[in-house]
Structure 1
Amino acid sequence: MKELSIIIPVYNVQKYLEDCLLSIYKQSLSLETFEVIAVNDGSTDSSIDILREYGEIYPNLTIISQENKGQSAARNNGLAVASGKYVFFMDSDDFLCLDSLASLLSKAVEHDLDVLRFDYKFVDEKGNELDKKTNRDKRKRYSDWLVDGKFLYEHLYQGEFFCLSLLKRIFLLKYSILYKEGVFFEDVEYALKVAYHANKVIYIDSCIYAYRQRVTSTIYTIDKKKVTDIIGASTSILKYVNDSSLGNGFKYVIKDTVTNLMVFALLRIAELKEKEEQKSLCALIHESGVSHLQPGREVKEYIISCGFNILGGWHVVRILYPVVWLKKKLKG
């Protein structure tokens, strides 16, 4: 059995794929220690050719091909064939920054952790670091603390619910923690499930992951389907608020996350040009059962969430509509 399985969904990323693979193989891990499972998700560019070239060089690279089913299905299929004690889900347009996987893996094994969380930075499409803040400063005080999943959710995510972590494979399998397929923003509920079940967690204040900001990324290309999935993610995690085993801190973060998601959704709905499409999405919010938002901590979130609570989604969208379009016009 390998110590680590790195699972990479691959879809039309020929421009970035080599950076991703090279950053893995530059780590000071022996090939016998880890495996790379690249899941080709129906790519139509030369991504599969690049994978095959690397597969000829590195015997620990396994290539799985599937019809285009999305990132979640690719991750789940990769997990199904993984053999590592720990798994790490990596996006194929991102890359690892530092030679620190070996030390992180050693710590995870030493403490028999369920989750080992680390940190990241933002880079542009060319790989240059961006002056864009993360919440690392809020996390670093907890570096090297041995905590549980509730602490992870309340203090270590800090509103960033993508699983930049080494995850124990049998832990994921024991609790059937899989990505919901066919939806966007799948990380939100996945991260909650990981935290809900984890018993042994450590966060390391090491920035080893470069998260590439692309104009084609999910968060920058919003349509009706994605807004619908934001609403779905909100209702999925809001159900946990009724769990009597959870403390107030955990529930507060859930409610705060729902607020952030719904504010984002309302702003995106306001960007839509079709009034009927706006109405149908606002009706979907109402039908989902999200009727009240915890007032956000930032000014924008606070104003919009309070407006939602008093006026309802449709009236908030009508107020936001001229604001977002004026902002777009001014930005060109």
Structure 2
Amino acid sequence: MSLRLSIIVPVYNVEPYLESCLQSIVTQSLSPSDYEVLVINDGSPDGCAAILDRYAQRYPQIIALHQENQGVSAARNAGLDRARGRVITFVDSDDALEPNSLHAVLERFEAADLDVLYTHIQAVDETQQPRGLDWTTGEDNVVCDGFSHPRRSFPATFYRASCVGTIRFPHGIPIGEDTVFNLKVQAFAQRVSYCSLPYYRYLLRGNSATKAVKTDKAYRGFRKALDEIVDFQKAHFLEHKEASHYFDAQLFLFLDRIAMHHLVYSLKASYFNDITRWVREHQKESLLVQLSATYPAIHRPYVVFWLIQHGLRWKQRLRTLLWRLKQYLLPRNKK
């Protein structure tokens, strides 16, 4: 039986937050018979499984799925494989929905006959206080095709199930797998819009994400993302001119992450040569030229890049040293 909506919630090691997340969903004004909540316990080592089973027994719209730990992509894909809703959305298990917001957003999606709908995201801290970040994506209630509308990784994005089709989250991309999924779905979308109604509360948590993005595993994931995007474009949009600009923008996004977190951070010749080779093979040299505005000499030979980046590092260190020296001497001068 088809439902109006499927909400997919991947769960791993979020015991302190899971109950608040689920409670924010089941207390929505949307009729329980209209939607399902597919909550996938990805082998969580804490007490998430017990919380999930308790909620599944109490609320018929919650479906508990348990699997061995395979990663967030596998968890979301398990939800997609079971989803019966005509519309699909995702909620991260440490986030929450604004009270009585779901019905209005779903109505907006259905009334405008959309393929993709981006919704408002408010970042909050552990005490649920707003913390500056306030995500919007496009103009409220303006409908564009997928290549024209701004793009954003979910959460807080609604998708027409038929537009998602067989698209799934890629494995082997630990950071940015949601970007790859989203850009593929939006490429097929004919009607994309943004809804400014308060809907989603995104929890800012202190974690090791900053360190994780600089690892070799993250680099390999970014490289795989580049290949995923190119292969997808070749398979579906090879001769589409508008698509070329769209996919180049997505490639630029991952190249920027590689430049920031790996090329400039580590200055490893192996990373630099690997990316340079990839860019040449796919004739994307223009993207490196664009990146050079932010990362000087990234489009030049490695020796030039290394020398300039080291020079910039020493320049910054000198500035910091002079500033500290000034701060040290200033009180004495006042005496």
Are 2:120 and 2:198, in contact at CA under 8 Å, matched by a contact in 1?
Answer: yes
Partner of 2:123: 122
Counterpart residue number, 2:93: 92
Counterpart secondary structure, 1:302: coil
Residues 138 and 193 in structure 2, CA contact (< 8 A), matched pair in contact too: no
Q: Distance in 1 between matches of 2:11 and 2:112?
A: 32
State the shift of 1:114 in Å: 1.9
Instruction: Tell me if structure 2 keeps the 8 A contact 1:6–1:87.
Output: yes
- Residue 187 in 1 paired to residue 186 in 2? no
Pair 1:196–1:272, CA change in 2 (3 A): closer
Q: Is the 8 A contact 1:115 1:168 kept in 2?
A: yes
Match of 2:240 in 1: 246
Aligned to 2:142: 145
Which residue of structure 1 lines up, in the alignment, with residue 333 of structure 2?
none
Question: 1:48: how far off?
Answer: 0.9
Could you report, residue by residue, the CA deviation over 1:195-243 in whole angstroms, capped at 9, with x for unpaired residues? 1111233321223112222232645522110122112223432456764
Would you say how many aligned residue pairs link Structure 1 and Structure 2? 310
Q: Which residue of 2 aligns with 1:225?
A: 217
- Alignment pair present for 1:282 and 2:272: yes
Equivalent position SS for 1:147: coil
CA offset digits 1:111-159 (Å, max 9, x no partner): 432222212122234432112353x2x722xx222332222xxx322xx
Larger radius of gyration: 2
Structure 1 residue 317 displacement after superposition:
5.8
**Structure 1 range deviating more: 281-290 or 93-102:** 281-290
Once the two structures are overlaid, the 10-residue window that deviates more, 206-215 or 48-57, is 206-215
Correspondence for 2:163: 171
Matches of 1:9 and 1:82, distance apart in 2: 13
Cα displacement (A) at 1:2? 1.9
Q: What amino acid is the match of 2:184?
A: K
Tell me how far 1:23 sits from its aligned partner: 1.3
Change (3 A) 1:106 1:43: same
SS in 2 for 1:116: strand
CA distance in 1, matches of 2:21, 2:36: 14
Structure 2: where are the runs of 5+ without partners? 322-335
Structure 1 residues 112 and 49, CA gap change in structure 2 (3 angstroms):
same
Equivalent residue letter for 1:215: G
The separation in 1 between residues aligned to 2:3 and 2:278, in whole angstroms, is 43
Partner residue, 2:327: none
**Pair 1:203-2:194 in alignment:** yes
Structure 1 position 106, deviation (Å): 2.1
Q: 3-state DSSP class of the match of 1:150? A: coil
Bigger Cα displacement from structure 2, 6-15 vs 56-65: 56-65
**Number of the residue aligned with 1:107:** 108
Q: Which moved more, 1:35-44 or 1:180-189?
A: 180-189
Residue type matched to 2:145 in 1?
Answer: D
Share of identical aligned residues, percent? 28
Q: 1:289 aligns to what SS in structure 2?
A: helix
Give, as a single letter, the amino acid of the residue that structure 2 aligns with 1:221.
A
| 1:51–1:63 CA contact under 8 A, matched in 2 | yes
2:172–2:221 CA contact under 8 A, matched in 1:
no
- For the residues of structure 1 that align with 2:289 and 2:127, how far apart are their CA atoms? 34
Q: Secondary structure at the match of 1:112?
A: coil
The code of the aligned residue for 2:170 comes to K
Change (3 A) 1:146 1:18: same
With over 3 angstroms needed to count, the CA separation of the structure-2 counterparts of 1:32 and 1:293, relative to structure 1, is same
Label 1:150 to 1:33 Cα distance change in 2 as closer, same or farther (>3 A): same
Identify the residue that residue 15 of structure 2 maps to in structure 1.
14
Match of 2:262 in 1: 269
CA separation in 2, counterparts of 1:286 and 1:203?
37
Unaligned 5+ runs, structure 1: none
Residue 307 of structure 1: SS of its match in structure 2?
A: coil
Q: RMSD of the alignment, in Å?
A: 3.1
Distance 2:145 2:108 in 1: 16
> Which amino acid in 1 is paired with 2:181?
Y
Q: What SS class does the counterpart of residue 28 from structure 1 fall into?
A: coil
| CA shift for structure 1 position 307 | 1.9
**Which residue identity is paired with 1:156?**
P
CA distance in 1, matches of 2:6, 2:71: 20
CA–CA separation in structure 1 for the residues paired with 2:47 and 2:304 = 47
